[in-house]
Chains A and B, each alone.
Chain A
Amino acid sequence: MKKLSRKIIFEVLVLVIVGLTPILWFHDGNQLILGHDAGLTLNPVPHFFDRLFLWTERYGFGNDQAYALPGFFIHGLEAIVTYLGASIQLQQKLTFIFWFMLPGMTMYYFASRLAKKLELEFFALPVSLLYMFNHFLLQGWLIAERTKFSVYAALPIVMVFLYDWAEGKRSTLKTSIFISVTLFFLNGTGSLPLFGGLIVVALAFVIFHLLSSFSLEKILGLLKLFILTIGISVALHAYWLLPYLQFVATSFQSAVSQAGGESGVLGWLEYISRNSSLVNLFRLQGIPDWYNNPYHPYANEFLKNPFLILVGLLLPVFAFLPLLIYKDKKKRFYIIFFSFLALFSLIFIGGSHPPFGAIYVFLFKFVPGFIAFRTPFYKFAPALWFAYAILIGFTISYFIQKLNIKKKVLSVTFYVAICAGIILYSYPFLTGSFFDYWVGERSTKVEVPNYVYDFGKFSEAPGRLHKRTLLLPPQSNNFRADVYKWGYWSLTPLTSLLTNASFVSINGGTPKDEGEIIDSLYQKMRQNDPSWPKVAKLLGIESFLLRKDFVWEATDTPTDNPLIYEKVLANSQVKKAAEFGEWVVYDFVDESSITPRVGIFQSLSYVVGAPKDISTVVSLSTFPQDQPFYISGSAVTDESVLMLASNAYIKPECINCLQQSKYINPELFTPSLIRGSIFYPFIEIQNKNEEEKIQKKSTQEKLDFYLYKSLEDVLALQKLVDEKGDTAFVVPIVQDYVSSLSKLKKELKAHVAEIDNAFLIESIDVIRTQESTFLGKSANILDAQTIEEINQAYDLIIDIKKVINGAVWQTDDTEKRFLVNVPIGQEYQLLYRPNDFSLGSLRTLEYLVDGKKYSSAPTASESGWMSLGANVLEKGIHRIEITQPSVNLYSGPTTVEVALADGGECFFMNPIRAMENEMYKISFKHRRLEGTRNLPVRIKKDASSAPIIDFKGDVLGVNYFEENYGTFHRVGKNEDVFYVALCSDPTTDTNSVPSVVELKDIVIQKVAVPDLVLYSDSGKEKSAVKFDYTRSSQTEYIVNADLKDNQKYILAMNGSSNDNWELSGMKGEKFVINGHANGWILDGDGTNGTIKYKTQGMVVIGFAITALSIIILLTVALINLYVGKNKK
């Protein structure tokens, strides 16, 4: 017994020593693990306290963070260590040692008990080492995935309890309590998918438990255990479960759609499972990041080194060898179970990879909630690693025990070598190289500059903590990644890990409308539009943080040069507040007109438009800054809000101003079954039923139906031709098409005046697709039998185009057309901004309002706005057309002969100065005079020769007759000038002669998208409302106001709009104010009110339930202990 204890002490000591491995990862005093998905913070204590609230101000205008509460223990541990005085690096070292050691220790507990039960020598230590040092954990350590480690560590303990229960050593109630308490502390931050491995192990256990001796009693026992465990767990986890359930109820669908909907998730599943073949999993590989990744720090060694390949292939041999070598029934019971578990888990880990992929996809599609397991490898793999550790432990134990009988010293040497080999097989643990997830480029091991910490302290100061700061430059549109020159790369903004202060930027979690509003502010700043301070103040932005160390020129995450913003911030309205190395803080000089966090107003501005238009409307000098605004997107009126409006701004869209056509993807509309299929009769019945149903529906629905039915018909024809189907079906399919077109034409003609303009624009694209498809395929089917039907279809296409073109309202080259939705009939000022500097100042502008012609001599004001005069408009929809000439920006001769000889040589037109996102139209006539070289048209950033290999650009056809060429160019990021070039591609033909081409009528013109705003003032008098507010916490504000009875007011809380924000003590109707914030229309009833984030109350209740549950469990435990002692 004494010997055994010494052995245990020794083995635990070994585990403790190897558990100190994380110390090896930090080579420098300043190095930290930060970025990617790590979620490790630079300020653990305030961060921990912030996570106790369901509303955080760390991101944008505020965010729900119900997902954060289950991280109580993980972040609590980090907070405690830091609170006790540890530096951030020491804190990371200590907590990493804890998380690194924990799986080894829990596995040792399980394995040593099994070893004792089965009289196994040399078993527990290698099993624990295998469970600690492996490639699954190695991948997790890249981002120090503590959530994953917690469930991984819980797995062996839960199995101990389950086995004890199955063997009758512990009662069902006790077992349930023990399992629940384990999962209370090691909770995987409540992420269900992380429990995938545990669920698979539990399922395998249940199957085995029932197979060993099936009885109703056993089923009832399992059911009791399950229900009790769930019940106790729910009570213990109530502190996060209660608020989280509400979050899931409201956010599950949006989370799925954010991931690209079900199809997007399936695409992800396909990607993740690409290398999860059974053989890869058998050798404990198949980790998605390993494959086709030359930048992986170590994977390629394991995939290409023959020795490591051999070791990998020997792993399954060692794992399943115990099935052959052990004959003892007791041991075989466990060996068969773990072998079964290994095979069973492979079905899940493989995801959509064959041979079991179809089963997984089926579960994915049809089992509610299974979609959560969209990354099967990472979620289910712990079950396999758990099984392998035990099975390989059996093999090691068998051989060492055999050897030990004859040669003790040799066996011990061999044993030590095996233990060392287990660690060495996962050698990146010893070097820390696994943090460099993109070798030479990106790493989660970084050195944080001191100025970042200094800024953190500065922003945590009481005077700064509640200031709302805009981050500059913005994160890239591609990934919204926060990237710094000193190595930080993450989708989580660094500031959110540094301080609890509010920083506004667009990140992955920013709501769409809010993102559009912030983006429009960034755009205004980029353009140095004089109105940007007004927009910023209206959004409640009080400060700006310019990060000059931001990586803005990265190819995958390009954004604006910080210098652009530095110039913009050299503005008299802002002042430099502080400077910390590469980070500079700017504040507004005059803070009085900044929208407060909470405010009460008598009136608001009523804006008809989209959230992205708000910065355009705000740039008008008449737009009031001392009251909030309401954006009504589509509704003509929203009566209760309109009553409070002191003015109205209508910002109509310039219809199809960019002259871009929409691509219709034929794959989405091609029918899977067409005439000729044996199942087609069913389709015919279905079509007939649909057509009968559609007759009872609205005109718009009928039009939609026939438009897309005709598209499907023509695509059916294309399918028949492409698949070389039976030509006997050509005529019936064309007849189907003719029939659909005839019905579409009839409906269009009958209701042309009432058809929605958006539908007409959409129809143009759909009919164009139909026409090109039909033109392309009719040549293959044209014969005496089909000519009549083909002609008929052509005639119908032409007729339909005529009807649509006659009715559609959209912009052409010079006529800018708008549809204006007027909420209230009155006189409106028409304000216009051409957004085309090449025009200079316009002397006169002609425009039509509902067909009536007007002429104006506008004068440009601030921000380029022109007043066209006033017009009285009735409530309803109006058509406005403004004639805006365009200027040819090409300044060379009208006819040019271009001779290009060498590959890579280019002819450049004059440079065009442009701004990001602007659209330019390029057109010319061309005629080949000599040569046959490929001559592509390219848009280039500079006038240097083209690179030798460049496949971009449209190649001009070798045509000796004059041909037209046209294209559009949208100006990219950081592109302030571009050149239209005609280049010569390299050729291998040594006899090739120089090519000469004649270019005529060259036109480069800006496709301007002008702004039109209709403005009216109700003349309503505005007086300031006396009020004050106090901020109790980030989830509660108390408001006191002097309100008059029977008068309406607006209460605005300038935080991100969320249904959970509720007002009590005052009577108010909730609505979205300022395009993104919480607003209430008050009745003037009551003077004191509280704005509360209502689910925060659930946290309190949840913590109370959790605390009560712990007290009850402790009492039960104490009683048990007392009773047990008395019995003894």
Chain B
Amino acid sequence: MWEKIKNNLNKVYKWFQENAVKILTVIVVHMILSYIFTLPYINLVNIAFGYIAFFVDWIIILILFKPKKEYILKFGLALFILSFPLAVFDAKWSVEMLGNISYLMIATYILFSLKEIRSK
């Protein structure tokens, strides 16, 4: 049992070790973008497209980590279930955020699947 936990933790640790640079890149890029969008006049973009920094983050994640599209979709759909307790307690903002992330995930899956329709 302990061995299993140890192995799993080791795997997680190893994953973080291997991907530390990528994770750091995403965080740094996000911080820089978040700062840029607070600057005068550039913050006007943020008023219209408030999620643009997160959107860029997502693109970088896709480039750096290359996740499988099935995982992306599963995660996107799982978020609907996860938002159930939040919806029951009327946490509108959180539910809305999770909904937006789900949209991004499903849209990514469809984008990655578009090549399938060309082969028809």
Name A residues whose Cβ lies closer than 8 Å to a Cβ of B. Answer: 208, 211-213, 277-280, 282-283, 306, 309-310, 312-314, 316-317, 320-321, 323-324, 329-330, 332-333, 336-337, 339-340, 343, 346, 354-355, 357-358
For residues 67 through 94 of chain B, which have their beta carbon under 8 Å from a beta carbon of chain A? 70, 73-74, 76-77, 80-81, 83-84, 87-88
Please indicate the chain A residues that have their CB under 8 angstroms from the CB of B110 in the complex.
Answer: 323, 336, 339-340, 343
B117 within 8 A of A: yes
Residue numbers in B under 8 Å from A310 (CB-CB) = 84
Q: B116 to nearest A CB, angstroms?
A: 6
B29 to chain A, nearest CB (A): 19
A362 CA to B67 CA in the complex, in Å? 34
A-side contacts of B120, CB under 8 Å: 212, 329-330, 333
Q: A321 CA to B106 CA in the complex, in Å?
A: 10
Interface contacts beyond A282-B103, A313-B80: sample of 17 additional A-B pairs, CB < 8 Å, sorted by A: A211-B117, A213-B118, A279-B80, A279-B98, A279-B99, A279-B102, A309-B84, A323-B109, A324-B77, A329-B119, A332-B113, A336-B116, A336-B117, A339-B106, A343-B110, A346-B103, A358-B49
Residues of chain B contacted by A321 (CB below 8 angstroms):
77
Q: For the complex, count residues of B whose C-beta is within 8 A of A.
A: 33
- Closest residue of chain A to B117, judged by CB? A212
Q: Report the Cα distance A247→B88, complex, angstroms.
A: 50
Q: Is the CB of A314 within 8 A of B80?
A: yes
Are the CB atoms of A309 and B88 closer together than 8 Å? yes
Contacts of A358 in B (CB 8 A): 48-49
Which chain A residues border B81 with CB–CB below 8 Å?
313-314, 317
Evaluate contact between B77 and A316: CB separation under 8 angstroms.
Answer: yes
Cβ contact within 8 Å between A313 and B84:
yes
The residues of A that contact B107 with a CB separation of less than 8 Å are 343
The reply to whether A324 and B74 form a contact with Cβ atoms under 8 Å apart is yes
What residues of B have a CB within 8 angstroms of the CB of A306 in the complex? Answer: 88
Pick from B87, B114, B116: contact of A309, CB under 8 Å: B87
Most buried by B among A212, A278, A279, A310: A279
B113 with A313: CB separation less than 8 A: no
Which residues does chain B contribute within 8 Å of A333, judged by CB atoms? 116-117, 120
Asked if residues B77 and A279 are in contact (CB atoms below 8 Å), the reply is no
Q: How far is the CB of B118 from chain A (nearest CB, A)?
A: 6
Task: Across the interface, name the chain A residue whose C-beta is closest to B116.
Answer: A332
| 7 A-B pairs closest in CB distance | A279-B99, A358-B48, A277-B96, A278-B99, A313-B80, A278-B103, A355-B51
Asked if B117 and A317 sit within 8 Å, CB to CB, the answer is no
Q: Does B100 contact A (CB under 8 A)?
A: yes
Cα A323 to Cα B110 in complex, Å, equals 9
B96 touches A211 (CB 8 A): no
Residues of chain A with a CB closer than 8 A to B48's CB: 357-358
Residues of A within 8 Å of B84, CB to CB, are: 309-310, 313
Q: Contacts A279-B83, A282-B80, A354-B50 known; A324 to B106 CB distance under 8 Å?
A: no
The interface residues of chain B lying within 8 Å CB-to-CB of A283 are 80
Q: For the complex, give the distance between the alpha carbons of A905 and B95 in Å.
A: 50
How far, in angstroms, from A866 to B102 measured CA to CA in the complex? 78
Output the least CB separation between A474 and chain B (Å). 43
C-alpha spacing A136/B83, complex, angstroms: 23
Report the minimum CB–CB distance from B19 to chain A (whole Å): 26
Chain A contacts for B70, CB-based, 8 A: 324
Alpha-carbon separation in the docked complex, A314 to B49 (Å): 28
Residues on A with beta carbons closer than 8 Å to the beta carbon of B109? 323
A-B CB contact pairs (8 Å), 17 listed: A279-B95, A279-B98, A282-B99, A282-B102, A282-B103, A310-B84, A316-B77, A320-B73, A323-B73, A323-B110, A324-B74, A324-B77, A330-B120, A339-B106, A355-B49, A355-B51, A357-B48
Q: Which residues of A contact B50 (CB under 8 A)?
A: 354-355
Contact status A355-B100, CB under 8 Å: yes
Are B103 and A343 in contact (CB-based, < 8 A)? yes
**Cβ of A313 and Cβ of B83 under 8 Å apart?**
yes
In B24-62, the 8 Å CB interface with A consists of: 48-51
Asked if residues A336 and B106 are in contact (CB atoms below 8 Å), the reply is no
How far apart are the CA atoms of A772 and B87 in the complex, in Å? Answer: 50
Question: Which chain A residue shows the least CB distance to B49?
Answer: A358
Q: Which of B102, B106, B117 interacts with A208 by CB under 8 Å? A: B117
**In the complex, A336 Cα to B114 Cα: how many Å?**
8
In the assembled complex, the Cα of A320 lies from the Cα of B103 at a distance in Å of 11
User: A362: nearest residue on chain B (CB-CB)?
Assistant: B48
Contact B73 A324 (CB under 8 A): yes
Instruction: Find chain B residues with CB under 8 A from A314 CB.
Output: 80-81
Question: Which A residues are CB-close (under 8 A) to B103?
Answer: 278, 282, 343, 346, 355
Chain A min CB distance to B27 (Å): 22
Q: CA of A216 to CA of B109 in the docked complex: distance in angstroms?
A: 28
Cα A312 to Cα B113 in complex, Å, equals 26
Give which listed residue, A282, A336, A355, contacts B113 with CB less than 8 A: A336
Are B117 and A320 within 8 A (Cβ)? no
Please measure, in the bound complex, the distance between the C-alpha atom of A211 and the C-alpha atom of B111, giving whole angstroms. Answer: 12
Q: A953 to nearest B CB, angstroms?
A: 37
- Minimum CB–CB distance from A345 to chain B (whole Å) comes to 12
Given contacts A211-B114, A313-B84, A313-B87, contact A320 B77 (CB under 8 A): yes
CA distance A320 to B109 in the complex (A): 10
Smallest CB-CB separation from A358: which chain B residue? B48
CA distance in complex: A211, B103 (Å): 21
B106 touches A354 (CB 8 A): no
Complex interface: chain A residues within 8 A of B98 (CB): 279
Q: Nearest A residue to B92 by beta-carbon distance? A: A277
Please give, as numbers and ranges, the residues of chain B lying within 8 Å of A316 by CB-CB distance.
Answer: 77, 80, 102
Residues of chain A contacted by B51 (CB below 8 angstroms): 354-355
**Distance between A804 CB and nearest chain B CB, rounded to angstroms:** 41
Chain B's nearest CB lies how many Å from the CB of A279? Answer: 2
User: In the complex, A340 Cα to B108 Cα: how many Å?
Assistant: 11
Contact between B117 and A323, CB atoms less than 8 A apart: no
Report the separation of the CA atoms of residues A8 and B103 in the bound assembly, to the nearest whole angstrom: 36
User: In the complex where A309-B84, A313-B80, A321-B77 touch, is A279 in contact with B118 (Cβ < 8 A)?
Assistant: no
Alpha-carbon distance A160/B119, docked complex (angstroms)? 22
Find the B residue at minimum CB distance from A318.
B77
B77: chain A residues at CB < 8 Å are 316-317, 320-321, 324
